[in-house]
Every structure is written in structure tokens, then in C-alpha cells.
């Protein structure tokens, strides 16, 4: 038995991280992706030879996001991330019908936002009665998402050292440092850093108000809540072959690390929120939840099933009520937004 185990260990050590990664990645992707991988890998190898340092880039960290009808939220989201050290935003507009672009215009004129019109069908999963229909629509949406991710990576890879791709209801929060760049300085040799979700609840809010998102919603889930195992990545865009919603396929079998420098599957790996985290304000108020999840207005919400679904979800997202980490951002962000009106 010892001899058998020794042989297995010897073979495992001889197989490269890259080949082991192929097995995992190709279980999720079309095998033809492998041909494209080797084509793109040549560019990656050339980039490695250039031995880039952070001083070779115009920006240290940028964010890319896909948006649709986010006029009520996008200015706060941008100003918050500017405050914690983000320098530029690549915004992909999925077909907004509100005044999102008008709000972005001053940021575009200052070179803070690079705007791209990226139309696609609106995600309205509540219109589909079967799981098969929902999966079909979701697959098309993910394809549209991933094409925007690919475009953002190619646009930014030689102008920014780090890139993050997040949504408008997600706020990257530096916990152990004042800014996001200060946290990242110790990770510059890594391909990517995992930033774990922290799901926020409605904090008792039924109706939408004009307060900031980070002001209205203060209650969140426990760290060990199962959805908080999901991550968003801050990554080196030159090391990525393919970016998905919650992970990436890196060249050479490289892996992202958590904030304690452990790779998923290693002893010691765990969900971490003590150094950096991604506050996920998915729920917001009951009114906003109804509009997004069910496509109806608050005055039409007389279904006991909707209320029960909402309350069940909030019972695990409104647990921690004494976290004051976002308080320090409220007044500076409000002041900045007031000066722009």
C-alpha cells in the first residue's frame, strides 16, 4: 500500500499544475477552448518576458461592471470606490432605459469612466415558468456577460496592474487597511485575490428612500452563511485566459489566493472577511426586491408567497446588527455627491 501511494504521489508531482487545471476547466468549457488557450498563452509568455512592474501602468487598480438601469445607485457606487482607491471604471451598459448615461457623463469627461454600450436582453427570470427556460435565458446572459469581461480585460491589461469585475450592488471594502491599493501591495506576485461576499439584508426597510445604499442597509449575514463562500476576484488581467462570474481560468495553472494566501483546497483555506470583503447589497428594501425579483410594484405585492419568500431570505441576512464599518464612508460620500448636484 505504501509503495502504491508513493507511485501516485510521484505521478501527481510530475503532472504540472497547468495540466491538472485543464481537466477541471474543460469539464466546464468547450474543448475547442484549449486551442484558443495555447494561442493566447503565447501573448502571456511574451508579457512575462517584459517583466512588468506596477510603475509601467497608468493605473494601479480599475473596476469593470455591466449595468442596466442603475441611475439611482451608480454615482454612489463610483464615489465610494474612488474614495477607497479605485482609479478608473469600465462601464458596459446592457441597454439602460433610464438616465444612467447622463449621470456617467461628468465622469466620462474627466476620464474616470470609459463607457461602452453593450445591449442585450433584460434578465427577467420571473417571466419563465420552468427551470429549463430559466437556465436557457441564464446561459445566454452569461455568454453576454463573459464577452464584456473579455473585452474589459483586453482593453485594460496594459493600462492597469489590477482589475476587478463586480456588479453595482457590490462594494469592495478594505478592512485591515484604509484603501484597496494598500491591501494589494503585498499580493503583487499573485495572479488574483479572492474577495468573499458578505450578504446584506433589508435592515428592516420596506420602501425605497433617497438615502445611500451603504447608509440604509447595515445588517448582514453571518460570515459562515453559505452564500458568503462565493467570491469576486481582484486579478492581474495579463494572467487571465477566461473570466467567469465568480472565478477565472488563469494561464499556467495559476490560482487566486484568499487574503491569507491560501488556495482553495489547501489545508488552512477558509472564507475570510477580516482583511478585505465584498459587501453584497442584493436585497435592498422589499420594494426594490419586488421590482427586481418579481417585476412588480410594492402596491401590487399582496401575495403571501412573495412576503414569505422575502422574510425567509431576510431571516439569515439581517443577523449581524452591530457592524459599523461602513459608517465612516457615509458623510464623505454624501458630501461629494452633494457638490455634484
Task: Reduce the secondary structure of 278-292 to three states and give it as a string.
Answer: EEECCCCCHHHHHHH
Res. 123: pLDDT tops 80: no
Q: 131 falls in which pLDDT band (50, 70, 90)?
A: confident
Q: 14 falls in which pLDDT band (50, 70, 90)?
A: very low
Res. 51: pLDDT tops 80: yes
How is the chain split into domains, by residue range?
17-340
- Please report how many Cα atoms fall inside a 13 Å half-sphere around the Cα of residue 142, on the Cβ side: 12
Q: 140 falls in which pLDDT band (50, 70, 90)?
A: confident
What's the pLDDT score for residue 125?
63
What's the pLDDT score for residue 10?
43
Question: How far apart (Å, rounded) are the C-alpha atoms in residues 211 and 199?
Answer: 19
243 to 10, 131, 312: CA distances (angstroms): 32, 25, 32
Q: 110 falls in which pLDDT band (50, 70, 90)?
A: very high
Res. 256: pLDDT tops 90: yes
Question: How far apart (Å, rounded) are the C-alpha atoms in residues 170 and 166?
Answer: 6
Res. 116: pLDDT tops 50: yes
What's the pLDDT score for residue 18?
86
Q: 122 falls in which pLDDT band (50, 70, 90)?
A: confident
What's the pLDDT score for residue 143?
85
| Average pLDDT score over residue span 105-126 | 89
Strands 88-93 and 113-117: parallel
Q: 29 falls in which pLDDT band (50, 70, 90)?
A: confident
Res. 71: pLDDT tops 90: yes
Q: What is the pLDDT of residues 287-330, one digit of tens each?
A: 999 988 877 776 666 678 888 999 999 999 999 999 999 999 99
| Average pLDDT score over residue span 195-200 | 98
- Cell 472577511, residue located: 273
Residues 6+ apart with CB under 8 A from 148: 64, 66, 92, 116, 118
Give the bridge partners for 65, in sequence order: 91
Q: Which cell numbers hold the place of 207?
A: 420602501
pTM: 0.91
Q: At what angle do helices 327-340 and 74-83 cross, to 10 degrees?
A: 120
The overall average pLDDT reported for the chain is: 91
Among candidate residues 109, 111, 61, the one with its CA nearest the CA of residue 233? 61
Three-class SS of residue 188? coil
Q: Which cell numbers hold the place of 319?
A: 443577523
Res. 1: pLDDT tops 60: no
Which is more confidently placed, 271 or 134? 271
Q: What percent of the chain has pLDDT over 70?
A: 92
Question: Residue 268: which region, alpha, beta or left (left: phi > 0; alpha: psi -120 to 50)?
Answer: left
Amino acid at each position: 500500500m505504501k509503495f502504491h501511494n508513493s507511485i501516485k504521489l510521484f505521478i501527481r508531482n510530475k503532472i504540472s499544475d497547468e495540466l491538472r487545471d485543464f481537466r477541471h476547466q474543460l469539464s466546464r468549457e468547450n474543448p475547442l477552448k484549449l486551442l484558443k488557450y495555447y494561442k493566447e498563452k503565447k501573448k502571456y509568455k511574451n508579457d512575462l518576458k517584459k517583466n512588468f512592474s506596477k510603475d509601467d501602468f497608468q493605473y494601479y487598480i480599475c473596476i469593470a461592471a455591466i449595468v442596466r438601469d442603475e441611475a439611482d445607485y451608480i454615482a454612489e457606487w463610483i464615489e465610494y470606490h474612488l474614495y477607497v482607491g479605485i482609479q478608473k471604471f469600465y462601464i458596459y451598459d446592457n441597454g439602460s432605459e433610464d438616465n444612467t448615461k447622463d449621470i456617467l457623463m461628468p465622469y466620462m469627461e474627466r476620464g474616470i469612466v470609459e463607457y461602452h454600450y453593450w445591449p442585450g436582453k433584460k434578465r427577467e427570470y420571473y417571466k419563465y415558468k420552468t427551470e429549463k427556460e430559466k437556465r436557457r435565458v441564464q446561459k445566454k446572459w452569461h455568454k453576454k456577460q463573459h464577452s464584456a469581461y473579455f473585452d474589459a480585460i483586453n482593453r485594460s491589461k496594459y493600462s492597469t496592474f489590477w482589475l476587478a469585475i463586480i456588479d453595482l450592488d457590490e462594494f469592495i471594502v478594505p478592512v485591515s487597511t484604509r484603501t484597496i491599493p494598500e491591501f494589494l501591495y503585498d499580493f503583487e506576485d499573485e495572479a488574483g485575490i479572492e474577495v468573499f461576499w458578505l450578504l446584506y439584508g433589508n435592515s428592516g426597510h420596506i420602501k425605497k428612500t433617497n438615502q445611500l445604499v451603504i447608509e440604509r442597509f447595515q445588517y448582514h449575514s453571518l460570515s459562515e452563511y453559505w452564500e458568503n463562500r462565493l467570491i469576486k476576484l481582484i486579478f492581474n488581467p495579463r494572467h487571465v485566459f477566461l473570466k467567469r462570474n465568480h472565478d477565472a481560468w488563469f494561464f499556467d495553472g495559476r490560482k487566486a489566493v484568499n487574503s491569507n494566501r491560501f488556495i482553495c483546497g489547501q489545508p488552512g483555506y477558509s472564507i475570510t472577511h477580516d482583511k478585505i470583503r465584498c459587501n453584497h447589497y442584493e436585497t435592498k428594501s422589499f420594494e426594490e426586491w419586488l421590482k427586481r425579483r418579481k417585476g412588480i410594484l410594492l402596491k401590487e405585492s399582496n401575495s403571501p408567497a412573495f412576503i414569505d419568500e422575502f422574510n425567509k431570505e431576510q431571516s439569515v441576512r439581517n443577523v449581524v446588527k452591530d457592524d459599523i464599518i461602513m459608517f465612516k464612508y457615509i458623510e464623505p460620500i454624501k458630501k461629494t455627491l452633494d457638490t455634484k448636484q
